[in-house]
Amino acid sequence: MNFSCNNCDLNYSIESYKEKLNNLIIDKKQNLLDDEVIRLSELIDELVYKCVFCKNKLKVIPSLELGLKNIFGTHSTFYYYGNEHLFTSMYSYILEGIKNNEMVYISMEESIYSKLLEFLITNNVPAQHIKFRPVKELIISNKSGDLKELKKKINEISLENKVKNYNGIRWIGQPTYAIQTTSQKDFLDWEINLSKALNNTNVSLICIYDAYDYMHEEKFINKEVINKSLHTHSYILKNSYLEKIN
């Protein structure tokens, strides 16, 4: 973290609101539909985006924002600060996918996945439509044959028997886990091709970046990963919408 970050009030504000959200969720007995929980999570969205974007001149196009129902073919991004913020934001994203008869695949650290699944079940989300599936196979396909092989792999997955009764796939991928199981280079190379590979498919993929790691440790989510993430995705999840970016 550089000097300007150390002297930025956003760090304090985000950490403060994170603790408030954690306590509020406990007070509300894990009820993610509570209006106060939703508002506080959306406020953290705003603060985290201000931090992540900071000096990057990235523009959103409000007139082209998408609801969370019809998102096939999109490659989007989300920046979370702590598990509670992640779980609250993923609740609506996952539930809309299930309502749209989509298989939900999740690729993330297994300890976080287990907590997320428990969180969703507590909030009456039908977990039988949610499966753990790492994106490593996609990254390996891209590494072995670039865009052509990646598109082929996505098509093969969308035609699998386990998916045939669904309208498509809503994939959630945690870059931290992807980098841990492959490499930063392989992950970033895959990200460059992913938007084109998903175009005109019945598959969407959202990358959920650990903003806490970026702001405080940079163990996996470092400046290079964040800067490239701002230019390889077409949409950003914000306030329960996908906002178009350019």
Domains of the chain, each with CATH number or no CATH: 3-245 (3.40.50)
- Write out the DSSP string of 48-64: HHHHHHTT----EEEEE
In contact, 229 and 188? CB cutoff 8 Å: no
pLDDT at 30: 85
Is pLDDT at 2 greater than 70 in this prediction? no
235's tokens? 């949409």
**Cα Rg for the chain, rounded, in angstroms?**
17
Per the DSSP assignment, residues forming a β-bridge with 168 are 102
pLDDT value for 83: 94
Q: Is the pLDDT of residue 245 over 50?
A: yes
pLDDT at 139 over 50: yes
Average pLDDT, integer, range 119-131:
94
128 neighbors 120 (Cβ within 8 angstroms): no
Q: Is the pLDDT of residue 6 over 80?
A: no
Between 5-9, 86-90, 144-148, the lowest mean confidence (pLDDT) is in: 5-9
Query: 150: how many CB neighbours lie within 10 A of its CB?
Result: 24
This prediction's pTM: 0.91
137 C-beta neighbours (distance < 10 Å), count? 13
Q: Residue 237: its pLDDT value, please?
A: 93
% pLDDT > 70, the chain: 92
The predicted model gives 117-132 an average pLDDT of 95
pLDDT digits (tens, 9 = 90+) for 218-232: 999 999 999 999 889
